[in-house]
Structure formats: C-alpha cells, structure tokens
Amino acid sequence: MSFDGVFTYAIVSELEEALTGGRITKIHQPSAYEIVMLVRARGQNHKVMLSAHPTYARVHLTNETYDNPPEPPMFCMRLRKQLEGSIIESVRQVDFDRIIIIDSKGRDELGDVQTKRLIIEVMGRHSNIILVDASTNTIIDSLKHLPPSVNRYRTVLPGHPYVAPPTHGKLNPLEATEETVLKKLDFHAGKLAQQLVSAFSGLSPLFANEAVFRAGLANRATLPKSFLSLIDDVRGRRFAPMMYTNGEKEWFYVLPLRHLQIEGQPFASASELLDRFYFGKAERDRVKQQAHDIERLMANEKAKNEKKLLKLEQTLEEAKQADTYRLYGELLTAHLYAAKRGMTEIEVANYYDENGGTVTIPLDPQKSPAENAQQYFQKYQKAKNSLAVVQEQIERTKEDIAYCDTILSQLETAAPKDIEEIRDELIEQGYLRPRAAKGAKKRKTAVPELDRYVASDGTEILVGKNNKQNDYLTTRLAHKDDVWLHVKNIPGSHVVIRSKQPSDETLLEAANLAAYFSKARHSGSVPVDYTRIRYVKKPSGAKPGFVIYEHEQTLYVTPDEELVRAMKQRQKQQAAKPS
C-alpha cells in the first residue's frame, strides 16, 4: 500500500509541526470509521482526519468539509469527554511502523492533570483508533473492539492493557547500514524487493521496487547504496509528495517513483496529496452504506419494469393484429357452411381482395365454426380496446425506467447529506414505506441544500444533486435569465449559472459540472444542452426532476475531476472570507 511507514513518517512530521502545543477544541465522527479533530495551534485552526476505514485508512491534515450525524456515536462522545480542551504534547511514530501516537494533557472532573494517548493504527482492514490512559497503559475505549475470541495475541477492549500489534522481528530502516542490508538480502534467491519488505518495518512494495530500480543491475554494491540513499531522503525529510496515474490505476507517495515511468502530479504536502487522492472515495463508500437499500430497490424496480416493457411490447404487436382478427371473423361467418368441427384450418375466398385471392384461417378443432368466428370477433374487440391502453402503459413504463435510471445515477454522485432527500422523495412517490424517524417532518419542509461552485471569473454555479434539489433550483430559485444546463438525453444534475451573460469559459466550466454529475461522468465528449431558465418547463404531473426545454444549444465536454475540485475549492475560499 502507499500509506506505509515512509508515508507515516512524512505525515507525522507535518502533524508534529502543526499540532504540537495546540488545544483540541472539537471532535466529530462523520462516519463509522472516521474521526475529525479540530485543533487550535499558533493562532490557526487545523482539521485532522483520523480514519480506520478497512480500505481508506489514513491520518492527515484536511481542508475537506464532512457532514456529521445529528447524534454523535458513543466513541465520539467518549473522545469528547476525554480529549476536548486538552493540549497536544507530542505526535510520534512507533518504530517506523504505521502507528501514530498523539499524547495530550488535560484535567479530569476533579481538576487533576492527566495524559491521554490516542493511538491510530493504520493497518488496512485491521486499522483502529484507540484511546489509552498514558499513566496506566489502560484502554479507555476504541473505535473497533477486539475480544479474545477474535485475537489471542491481544485484546482491544475498555479496561484492558494496551498491547501493540506484533512487529514480526523486522528492523527499523532508519537504523540500517550497508552491512545490515547485505545481511538481510540473498542475491541468489531473487525477488530483492520482496526481501526488503520482509526484512524492514514500514516498507511497502512501492519503496522497495524504487530502491531496486535505482540500483540498476541490482547487486551487492548498488542495492544497499540506493536503499540507504532513499532512507537518507526520508531521514532528512526531503519529501516530494506526488500522485501518479496511468488512466486505470492511481498511486501516491512522498518520494519520486521513477520505476513507474509516469509523470507525477506534485503537491505541497503529504496531507494535501491525501486530501486529493481520497477526494470522494471514502464519501462514496459512506453513501453506498447509507443507500444500499435504495440502490437495491431501484435496481429491482428497473429490472421489473424492463420485463414489463417486453410483455407490453409483445401485447402491442398482438393488438396490431386486430384487423386480421376482424377479417378472419367476417370471412369465417360468411363461409360457415364450408367449415366443420374438427378442422384445424380452412381456406376461403377473401371478398375484400380485389384480385380475388384466398385466406387460410386457423381453427380450433374443439370448437364449432360459429364458435371459432365468435372467438375471432372477441380477439378483435380486445385487441382494439387494448391498443390505446397498452401504448399508454408502454410510455408510463418507459418513464418509470428512466426515473429508476435517474435515481441510480444520482446515488453515484450523491453526498451523504443528499441521501435523506432521495429517501424522502421515494417515500412520496410510493417506492418506500414512511419511516418513523426523528426529525423527518423537519427534513421535508426544509429548503434543499444545493452544491455551490465558483467559476474562474468568480461567477457562482449551482448544482442539484437529486430530484428535490433539481426541482427547487430550476423551478423556484433560479432567475428567468439565468443559464440552465443538463446533459443531453442522459440522467444527470440540473446546473444553473447565476449570470445573464456568462463568459465562454464559465459556460464550459458549468457544462463540465453537468457532465461530471451525470451518468456520463466517465465518458468523453459528453453533449450538454444549455438554455435560459425561462425556456425550461415542468409538465403538469411529471415525476420529480423531469423538465422539458427549448431554444437549447449544445456543448461537448469531457468531465474533468480536477476542474470540479478547483471550482469547489474556490467556493470554499470565497465562503471563508469575512463578509
């Protein structure tokens, strides 16, 4: 993984410089695995992300905004009681491993000074955040509890002594010499990168592969030197945070990775790099957890409607045979004398055919000729009556499928705060049963909270992330001369530029937002229609979020996540300025 001991060393350097001596002012727990700690140090406010997520575990300073649940979880309340108001004394790394310890000193209820130890173990699916009483090494609480039945080596439960994860006898690379490197390597066995990872603590395959690559034809003379050269850069804190991508996969690291042979994107700090790399990733995971039932429901609804559509189209084809059934009934009635019970078909003259042709009429041998004729008249009447009804049902079913597609698309780009609005909408539309949830009444009457972005020239751009927000933005909030955008014939967000005459650049940036927050976000050259709000109408009785529009023009853009992020950062900076 990229977040190895080397990356931890870089992060601890940043945290140590920013947080030491600072006061912990507030603690939040936006999700099951994440803690956000606000620290006031040297006249500045710092936000620290502590994540024990099975996939996205990390620790870093962050500028992102996280939505918090209305009721804080128990672990968050315990942290607040024990840590809020305390002063951070030190931030350190344990033995070059992916373990960070934050010691803070504060007073308890009796006014006695106590030191609390917050231990963050960044260990993939085994990651954890543990609060320990430093004086007794006793666990106060932890994000994840680990009973003896799960792990015989150590128990992570309140009241138990804290035991660090096993080290497996690996060496600290900061203490390595050429001699120790040579002792740990068997050049005849091959797989030198793997040997380095096995011998030294905190090293990832990324670091080991880089050391082997820089050694050239790796041998006893070159590999120890290239390895120790990289370690010397770490020891001297000569970091160069970079993100790399080949279009399919992404990597990040605090040292240049020449072995990837890809141009990297530089960042000012390791924390800024992590903010960018994990932009949306952990949030997407939270949304999937919160909206799993909605996603499954809408996928099932879509599949059910698609089956229904096939049957309706089959019924429509049969209904189109109405004239044939009438013809069979009339001709059979005219030729009853020639038909006999038991016949499977009869060929009769077609007196409607100017050329005097004949028609072969299929018969039910169990019925009399008159009964067969009557059956054809009944089929004709049924088909005639159903033609208009089936056509109407087909249109309604297509609308239902499009609606399901829209909801599924919105779930792909929704933030956690958007999920409840989508849930409320589905309750109103009859897809979900009402829940007796605290604050539900308040949510329904609340004004939808729109996503706001700022274009390069400072123009505000608003984005609706679900149907409630789209309806509110387009039909109530936007002015008649504002410019409205939406991807062409694809489910997506309504986007509004708060300007009568936006520049070409702003128009392209808004089109990028419309494409990014749509089902086509991973496509290239996405068509985006734009027009004035005055030309956008919501038909009477239409489903939420559905509109029709005219006088549109079309732009073609390729969604750019970096551009979206830049516009969001601009909005945050603008919002932070004193009014």
Give the pLDDT confidence of 111-130 residue by residue, as tens digits.
888 999 999 999 999 999 99
Chain mean pLDDT for the chain = 91
pLDDT tens readout for residues 214-238:
998 878 889 999 999 999 999 999 9
Architecture of domain 295-410: Orthogonal Bundle (1.10)
Domain 171-276 indexed as CATH 3.90.190.20: no
Q: State both tokens at 96.
A: 């070059």
Query: Average pLDDT in the 372-386 region?
Result: 88
pLDDT in tens, 323-375: 888 999 999 999 999 999 999 999 999 988 888 899 999 999 999 999 999 99
Between β-strands 495-497 and 548-549, what pairing exists: parallel, antiparallel or unpaired?
A: unpaired
- Residue range 163-217, pLDDT digits in tens: 999 878 899 999 999 999 998 888 888 889 999 999 999 999 999 999 999 998 8
- Residues 239-280: pLDDT tens digits? 999 999 887 788 999 999 999 999 999 999 999 999 988 877
Region 477-497 average pLDDT: 95
Q: Residue 83: what pLDDT?
A: 96
Nearest to 469 by CA among 447, 487, 484, 488: 447
Most confident of 7-16, 183-192, 389-398: 7-16
Where are the extended beta strands (E) located within 62-175? 87-93, 99-107, 113-121, 128-133, 138-142
Q: Which residue in 447, 456, 459, 449 sits closest to 414, CA to CA?
A: 449
The pLDDT tens digits for 419-448 are: 888 999 999 899 988 866 544 444 455 788
- pLDDT, position 436: 63
Per-residue pLDDT, averaged over 70-84, amounts to 94
What is the pLDDT at residue 476? 94
Indicate if the alpha-carbon torsion angle 467, 469, 475, 480 is positive or negative.
negative
Look at residue 440 in the predicted model and tell me its pLDDT: 45
How many contiguous H segments (helices) and E segments (strands) does the chain have? 16, 22
d(CA 478, CA 462): 9
Residue pair 241/252 in contact (Cβ under 8 Å)? The answer is: yes
The answer on pLDDT for 506 being more than 70 is yes
List pLDDT tens digits, range 539-576.
998 889 999 999 999 999 999 988 998 999 899 888 87
- pLDDT recorded at residue 539: 93
Taking the domains of the chain in order of start, what are their residue ranges?
Answer: 3-159, 171-276, 295-410, 449-574
Mean pLDDT throughout 23-33? 94
pLDDT at 439: 47
pTM for the structure as a whole:
0.73
State the pLDDT at residue 579: 56
Task: Name the amino acid, one letter, at 94.
Answer: V
Out of 3.30.70.1560, 2.30.40.10, 2.30.310.10, 3.30.1860.10, select the CATH number for domain 3-159.
Answer: 2.30.310.10
Strand residue runs (E) in 311-406: 345-349, 358-362
